[in-house]
Structure 1
Amino acid sequence: MTISYKWLHEYLPVSVEPERLSRILTSIGLEVESMEAYEEVKGGLQGLVIGEVLTCEKHPDADKLSLTTVNIGAAEPLQIVCGAPNVAAGQKVVVATVGTTIYPAGGEPLTMKKAKIRGVESHGMICAEDEIGLGNSHAGIMILPANVTVGSLAADYFKPYTDWIIEIGLTPNHMDAMSHMGVARDVIAYLNFHDKKNYVLKSPFSNGFKTDSKALPITVKVENEEACQRYAGVSIANVTVKESPDWLKQRLKAIGVRPINNIVDITNYILHETGQPLHAFDADAITGAEVIVKNLPEGTAFTTLDEKERKLNAEDLMICNKEEAMCIAGVFGGMKSGVKETTKNIFLESAWFNPVTTRKTSFRHNLRTDAATRFEKGVDISNTVNVLKRAALLIKELGGGEIASDVVDVYPKPNEKTQIALKFHYLKKISGKNYHPDTVKKIFESLGFELVKESIDEIWVAAPFSKPDMELPADLAEEVMRIDGLDNVEIPTSITISPSTEADHTGFAYKEKISNNLAGQGFNEIFTNSIANSAWYSDDVLATTVKMLNNLSAELNVMRPSMLETGLQCISFNLNRKNNSLRLFEFGKTYKTTETGKYFETDHLAIYTTGSTEASWKQKASATDVYFLKAVVSGILQQAGLSAETEIAEAEKGFSGVITYKTQKQVIAKIGIVDATQLKQFDIKQPVYFADINWNSLTQLAAKAKLVYKEIPRFPAVERDLAIVIEKNISYAEVEKAIKNTKVSRLKEVSLFDVFESEKIGANKKSMALNFVFQDDEKTLVDKETEKMMSTLIQALEKQFSAEIRK
């Protein structure tokens, strides 16, 4: 919410310094995010003076330049070379002297310096309006009236508008503060409480409204009373649509609203003054002289003010005439019925539209207007007619014309104020502070609450319609604490709390442990959006994907069915910024559905690598590969106390070279190389390796696993190497599994350290060189024992794979 300091003081009975006002607003829960000085003319015309051209002659060396002397009230006149075609002796002009900085419209600031132009010294500049930010004309210098005082400051003559602009970060419940009057009411309540005053709001409403004629009667019919509980309107005839006066344009421009014409500007002004949106129709476009508030059939075409045709939803509330729609109620006007330069007669609307209906329509058509943001939070239904009369009088004042009808006010079921009781002991419990009943009463009265009844231990109040969020005693307690100042909440000397317990402490422990391990290996943790783009997935995947009913945007419309795509989006973002070597991991969820109402989410640990290792004095840079990622995943499982079997699996869609890890016949992790087709979708031109660990399965199995601690062996290990020739299609994983199945108890480790293929060892054959580590915890192994274990292993390999031992 943007607030003008000067505008706010139109409703305050006393002036409050900007710094104090900022502190007050933040203290009462209207957090000031910024407060900046505003200048209608950048630089405020500082340093510019009024001068009089004494002489004007042709420049001796340039036909289009003039040599002038200008009196600026100093001891000596200034000699200035001027290129304007309209400069002449006797003119009163604006002069930028040497050292003055000017701010041209749409240009960079320029500081005046003594210059020599075609051999003649020039001590300043005679200014055109665009050169000092007062306009856009560059046809010639500005010529001022003859009665202007020479030597006076240009800022004193033009009086450019200055202000302080305050940005307030409003929480959604503070609809009442979405206007200058609403903010002023809160400030007055604070001043009354802290300064012991009885200030009241300076109201802009007057009793001067009266009907001039009944020449333009327009009837109103509300068909959907749930979506429009109150609708008021009045006709104004013979208006003149023209530019707004300076004071109105200055107010609007200061808060970032672009002035359009006097009629539209008044509706915007009233919106920011009172918080009540208004809409002005061209009355001549209301066929049948009847306004009908209703819903139209699904798919009805409607052209809005931005000249776009929109297809209406059956739930969209519309303002119509006898023949067609004129406006999307509370959201946006229509092309045909809007106020134009030729408009002579106006029908002015002030209404209350249902917040839920308005919000849905606004989001449905992506029309986030100032009016919609106020209606969707709930405007003051009791103020509808007051605001209408205020706007009508302002239009009559600034646009001429006459009030040409009685006020039409359709309010079939008047709302009743919400009554809430606040017990004083409850207020003390909530706030931790004792408040005197008279103090509480005064705060509520300052905020517009109506006192219903009071007793020794409680107070009953009726909440104003400007505060639709008031429902519970806690809401009233918040209002009292706000006006007292949230900074004044007392801090107790002791705090009583109940210790929290973690239902899944095992999962958190493993997450922290594994995160630290990955960070130690050079990985960075990422957090990607769990809402993804459906365009990334095939129809088969989308068949079981959870789709968003109210998606954030066209690109974010499904809950991600896998971790890969959002990670690739992150990788693509980094690669486009020359961050080419990445090691990333993410803990996240995937989502799936089988039918409406049945949804499943699964926790994952996703790991991504791409690029190469960093080069250093001790090693060259080397490209990362799937074996590096395999080692990382193996280490994670080992940390969790799990042993797993690896298998080469069939290629999956989007992957090749898939390796699976199984524990107790349950797939716990997968590693793969991302296919080029998938990479192309994200404009990635280098290999990416991806590991997906089912975090639910890992933590469940890890919780059951028993970690066994043993004393470090005191006896040395024995190593043996063995080279075997086997069929080319036999994987090392199969060989490793066969070795483990021999159950040689003193075999501690087995590893592959060489693979050799050649026609010398036979077609479709390969040689594997294996290293075995044996160790006995109780004694030193002798050769005889080691040879016996090696013999057992050799026999198993010969039997299962017809392996030949290379000697």
Structure 2
Amino acid sequence: MTISYQWLMDYLPEAIPVNELSQILTSIGLEVEAIERSEAVRGGLAGLLIGEVLTCGKHPNADKLSVTTVNVGGETPLKIVCGAPNVAAGQKIVVATVGTTVHPTNGESFLIKKAKIRGEESEGMICAEDEIGLGESHAGIMILPADAIVGTLAKDYFNIPETDFTIHIGLTPNRSDANSHIGVARDVCAYLTHHKGGKHEVVMPAISNDTTAKGNLINVSVEAQAACPRFTGVSLKNVKVGESPEWLKLRLTAIGVRSINNIVDITNFVLHEYGQPLHAYDADKIAGSQIIVKFLADGTPFTGLDDKERKMRATDLMICDTNGPLGIGGVFGGAYSGISDATTNVFLESAYFDSRHIRITSTHFGLRTDAATHFEKGVDINNVLPALLRAAAMIVDIAGGAIAREVTDLYPTALQPVEVTITYSYIHKLSGKEYTPAAIKETLTALGFVIIAEAADGLTLQVPSNKPDVSQPADIVEEILRIDGLDNVQLTGRLNIALTKALPGDRQQKERMAELLCGMGVQEIVTNSIVNSKYYPNQENLVRMINSLSAELDVMRPSMLESGLEVIEYNCNRKSQDLSLFEFGNVYHHGGEAKYIQEQRLGIWITGNVKSAQWNQKAQKADAYYMKGMIGNMLAYSGITNTTLSYPAENSDTLETTWKWKNNILCTMTRVSAAKLKQMDVKQDVFFADIHWDTWTKAMAAHKIKYAEVPKFPAVARDLAIVLDKEITYKQVQDETEKLKIDSLQSFGLFDVFENEKLGAGKKSYALSYTFQLQDRTLTDAEIEQVMKQLIDVYTNKLNAQIRS
């Protein structure tokens, strides 16, 4: 939320410096995230003076330049070289003196320096209107009326408004009471009352309720009372639509709202003043002179202010006339009934809409308007009428015309105020601070709470209607703490802590695995489990959201892949292209009628370089072998054995590799397909491992740790090179070796693959290494040779291998 500093000052009983105000707002829970200078004219005409041209002659070295002497109220005139064709002696002009920073309407600001122009000294600049931000004209210098007083500051002469500040507040969703300038002022006054004593009250704007004029009647009926408990409206006639006055445009500009016309600007002004949305209709376009608030049939077409037609649902509340819908209640206006330059009669609406209806409709259509945002959080039902009267009075004052009839106020069933009983001991227990009963009552009454009953140990309070989030004693304590200042809660000097209980087994395993991955240089990410269904155009078992947060977040993710690719795409677009990421999360799919399945997964994404270039090495790109090595480390760390590995098919683009444990998928590793990378707008290779965490944890639990003494006897290494047909894979060699079940064989592996025409057509060579060792004795050469002979016989007979010497 943004507020204007100068605008806020209109409602405070005393001025507060902007820096002090920032500290107060943050202290009372309205955290100030940023303060920006907001100026009606860039630079505020600082350093510019009103001057008079005393003399003007041709420049001796340039035909199009003039040399002038200018009086700006100093002891001696300034010598200024000017290139404007209309400069002449006797003129009153605007002068930028040396040291002044000039801010033109278009282009960069620049500093005025003492200079020599074609050999003549120049001590300033005589300004055109576009050079100082006062207009677009550059035809010549600004010539002021003869009565302009020399030496006057330009900002005073042109009556430039005082510099404003735009204050950005990180408003939490529960603080709808502070979603306006008056709401913020109310909190500030409560703070001043509590900390400075006395009674500080909000200076409310004066409201006139003149309803003497008659005619141009609009009748109102509300058929959907639950969705619209209160509806007020008033008709105005003979209104002149036009440009807003400068002060109104400045107020709106300071909070980032674009000026449209005086009627629309007034509704926006009151919205940000009171926090109550309003809507203005061209009364002559309301068919039958009748407003009806109701639900329409499912599929009813409606064209909004953006000229888009939407099919409304039976649950969307509509504002209608006798011909059909005029607008979506509390969300969006219609194209045909809005204010235009030809409007002369206006119907002004101020209503209270149920927040749930607004939220559902606004989210469904993606219409995140200011009005919808306010109604979603909850507005003050008792502000509906004052905001209407305030806007009507402003329209009469600014746009002329008159109120055409008495105000319509349909409020058949008043909403009952919330009552809360609280004890002083509870306040002390929850806040950690001992407040006196007098201080508690002073703070709460300053915030608008009404004391219904008072006892020795506590109070019964009526909650003000502008605080829909306050419903229980803890909320009352929060209000007291806010106004006192959260940083004023005293520390006892003693720290009490409770020892954390041991983490559950699954959590422990996740923490251990996260530590391992971080140790390998992989960073953890946390992404949203709700994703965009467009990522899965042909998938039928998606779990769809009944009430989605937005049109882009409408399904529970069936895969971890896309979540990580979104992070990669975001970082790559910002020149961070070497990424190693992991995330623990859930995936979801529909398993049949009324059955949903949720599974835990661990996703790992590797892209770019895994090692950067150094003076003694080249950069190493991520590849399938690097990812496979990582998974091997994870399996070893988890103690998972007896896995089976399915290798990618020959000439596979995705290099899909799957690890299984007891015939259950443990992990699948792939190179992300080009089509998927294009869909996610990622322009570099990504390797992805999808680990089925539930299966992984079962495999970890099945592992039994066995202790064995460190061998006392030496290990013996042997190498063997065999020539095979190209069709034979290393997996076949591995399987035949393991079938022998040689006790002394501790490990073996492939360390080289060689192909050459000298081996023969269709042949390749594998170089294998073996490590032999026994726990109880040293192996003899004869025993090792016997084992090697077994291996050679198997390779020769089973795989048709030839031994390379």
Tell me the TM-score normalised to structure 1 length: 0.91
Q: 1:14 to 1:720 in 2, by over 3 A?
A: closer
Q: What is the aligned partner in structure 1 of residue 447 from structure 2?
A: 447
Q: What is the aligned partner in structure 1 of residue 188 from structure 2?
A: 187
The counterpart of 1:778, out of the listed 751, 768, 776, is: 776
Q: What is the aligned partner in structure 1 of residue 660 from structure 2?
A: 662
Q: CA deviation at 1:159?
A: 2.9
Q: 1:625 to 1:136 in 2, by over 3 A?
A: closer
Distance in 1 (CA, whole Å) between partners of 2:683 and 2:383 is: 62
Residue pair 1:420, 1:462 contacting (<8 A) in 2 also? yes
| 1:41 pairs with 2:41 | yes
Q: Deviations over 1:677-707 (max 9, x none)?
A: 4445456666554433322222221123122
- The amino acid of 2:278's aligned partner reads L
Q: CA deviation at 1:231?
A: 0.7
Residue pair 2:667, 2:691 contacting (<8 A) in 1 also? yes
Residue pair 1:610, 1:689 contacting (<8 A) in 2 also? no
Distance in 2 (CA, whole Å) between partners of 1:573 and 1:182 is: 38
Q: What is the aligned partner in structure 2 of residue 130 from structure 1?
A: 130
Percent of matched pairs sharing the same residue: 51
Q: CA deviation at 1:202?
A: 1.9
The counterpart of 1:630, out of the listed 624, 628, 631, is: 628
Distance in 2 (CA, whole Å) between partners of 1:446 and 1:572 is: 51
Q: How does 1:108-119 map to 2 (within 5 A)?
A: 108-117=108-117
Q: CA deviation at 1:219?
A: 0.9
Greater Cα shift, 56-65 or 140-149: 56-65
Q: CA deviation at 1:88?
A: 4.2
Greater Cα shift, 745-754 or 416-425: 745-754
- The amino acid of 1:691's aligned partner reads A
Q: 1:4 to 1:713 in 2, by over 3 A?
A: same
Q: What is the aligned partner in structure 2 of residue 278 from structure 1?
A: 278
Q: Deviations over 1:423-449 (max 9, x none)?
A: 222111111222222222222211111
Q: What is the aligned partner in structure 2 of residue 101 from structure 1?
A: 101
Q: 1:398 to 1:570 in 2, by over 3 A?
A: closer
The counterpart of 2:700, out of the listed 702, 705, 709, is: 702
Q: What is the aligned partner in structure 2 of residue 263 from structure 1?
A: 263
Residue pair 2:212, 2:404 contacting (<8 A) in 1 also? yes
Greater Cα shift, 375-384 or 572-581: 572-581
Q: CA deviation at 1:744?
A: 1.9
Q: SS where residue 347 of structure 2 aligns?
A: strand
Q: What is the aligned partner in structure 2 of residue 589 from structure 1?
A: 586
Distance in 2 (CA, whole Å) between partners of 1:626 and 1:472 is: 57
Q: What is the aligned partner in structure 2 of residue 691 from structure 1?
A: 689
Q: What is the aligned partner in structure 1 of residue 324 from structure 2?
A: 324
Q: 1:218 to 1:124 in 2, by over 3 A?
A: same
Q: 1:635 to 1:493 in 2, by over 3 A?
A: same
Distance in 2 (CA, whole Å) between partners of 1:327 and 1:294 is: 11
Q: 1:655 to 1:601 in 2, by over 3 A?
A: farther
Residue pair 2:605, 2:686 contacting (<8 A) in 1 also? no
Q: CA deviation at 1:42?
A: 2.0
Q: Deviations over 1:352-399 (max 9, x none)?
A: 111121222222332222222111111111122222222222221222
Q: 1:739 to 1:317 in 2, by over 3 A?
A: same
Q: What is the aligned partner in structure 1 of residue 381 from structure 2?
A: 381
Distance in 1 (CA, whole Å) between partners of 2:582 and 2:200 is: 60
Q: 1:152 to 1:726 in 2, by over 3 A?
A: closer
Distance in 1 (CA, whole Å) between partners of 2:251 and 2:767 is: 85
- The amino acid of 1:594's aligned partner reads G
Q: How does 1:158-557 map to 2 (within 5 A)?
A: 158-161=158-161, 162-206=163-207, 208-505=208-505, 507-537=506-536, 539=538, 542-551=539-548, 556-557=553-554
Q: CA deviation at 1:469?
A: 1.2
Q: What is the aligned partner in structure 2 of residue 563 from structure 1?
A: 560
Greater Cα shift, 575-584 or 33-42: 575-584
Greater Cα shift, 41-50 or 493-502: 493-502
Distance in 2 (CA, whole Å) between partners of 1:509 and 1:634 is: 20
Q: How many residues align?
A: 803
Q: SS where residue 453 of structure 1 aligns?
A: strand
Residue pair 1:726, 1:765 contacting (<8 A) in 2 also? yes
Residue pair 1:593, 1:600 contacting (<8 A) in 2 also? no
Distance in 2 (CA, whole Å) between partners of 1:335 and 1:192 is: 47
Q: SS where residue 656 of structure 2 aligns?
A: strand
Distance in 1 (CA, whole Å) between partners of 2:7 and 2:144 is: 30
Q: What is the aligned partner in structure 1 of residue 156 from structure 2?
A: 156
Distance in 1 (CA, whole Å) between partners of 2:281 and 2:127 is: 43
Distance in 1 (CA, whole Å) between partners of 2:490 and 2:260 is: 50
User: 5+ unaligned residues in a row in structure 2: which ranges?
Assistant: none
Distance in 2 (CA, whole Å) between partners of 1:379 and 1:277 is: 9
Q: Deviations over 1:519-550 (max 9, x none)?
A: 554545455554444444462xx112333445
- The amino acid of 2:94's aligned partner reads V
Q: 1:654 to 1:515 in 2, by over 3 A?
A: farther
- The amino acid of 1:237's aligned partner reads K
Q: SS where residue 51 of structure 1 aligns?
A: strand
Q: CA deviation at 1:4?
A: 2.2
- The amino acid of 1:716's aligned partner reads P
Q: Deviations over 1:281-307 (max 9, x none)?
A: 221112221111122333333333333
Distance in 2 (CA, whole Å) between partners of 1:578 and 1:497 is: 44
Q: 1:236 to 1:126 in 2, by over 3 A?
A: same
Q: SS where residue 500 of structure 1 aligns?
A: coil
Q: Deviations over 1:132-170 (max 9, x none)?
A: 112333344333333322112112222312123322211
Q: Deviations over 1:290-335 (max 9, x none)?
A: 1111223333333333333333333222222222322222222222
Q: 1:193 to 1:677 in 2, by over 3 A?
A: closer
Q: Deviations over 1:45-67 (max 9, x none)?
A: 12111112334556677676555
- The amino acid of 2:194's aligned partner reads F
Q: Deviations over 1:590-623 (max 9, x none)?
A: 3222134413222224253555755556555666
Greater Cα shift, 133-142 or 445-454: 133-142
Residue pair 1:102, 1:111 contacting (<8 A) in 2 also? yes
Q: CA deviation at 1:797?
A: 4.7
Distance in 1 (CA, whole Å) between partners of 2:229 and 2:681 is: 53
Residue pair 1:607, 1:692 contacting (<8 A) in 2 also? no
Residue pair 1:604, 1:694 contacting (<8 A) in 2 also? yes
Distance in 1 (CA, whole Å) between partners of 2:622 and 2:251 is: 62
Q: SS where residue 368 of structure 1 aligns?
A: coil
Residue pair 2:221, 2:291 contacting (<8 A) in 1 also? yes
Q: What is the aligned partner in structure 2 of residue 14 from structure 1?
A: 14
- The amino acid of 1:355's aligned partner reads S
Q: 1:743 to 1:654 in 2, by over 3 A?
A: closer
Distance in 2 (CA, whole Å) between partners of 1:687 and 1:37 is: 46
